[in-house]
Amino acid sequence: MTAKNFICPNGEQVTIEQCLAGCVYGHACIARPTLYSLAAGCRDRKLDRFSVTELIRGARESYLMKINDYAIDPMSLVFSTFGTAVHKAQELAALKAQ
């Protein structure tokens, strides 16, 4: 399945759609453009094979994430989103070098 909720700094959960429509607390914990980017990275990407992250994740955790919707702290997505951007830059550099 996919991430449906963000876990706010106070521990409460809100749907990602609610968060992106406007922070329910009136003061976003992360800049809105960053929230959009983080949300895009945790949606179902319809991958037809394992992602690198899934390969380094425990089998039980991967299985549970496949069969359940779940909540995630947006701050915990920052480095994976950064990693995705770095991988994309490397791919583009490799293509240019060919």
CB atoms within 10 A of CB 93: 9
Per CB under 6 A, which of residues 38..77 are in contact with ligand SF4? 74
Rounded (10°) CA dihedral 73, 89, 47, 53: -50
Per CB under 6 A, which of residues 20..39 are in contact with ligand SF4? 23-25, 28-29, 35
Residue pair 2/42 in contact (Cβ under 8 Å)? The answer is yes
Is the Cβ of residue 34 or residue 62 nearer to ligand SF4 in the bound state?
34
Which residues of this chain interact with ligand SF4, rule CB under 6 A?
A: 6, 8-9, 14, 19, 23-25, 28-29, 35, 74
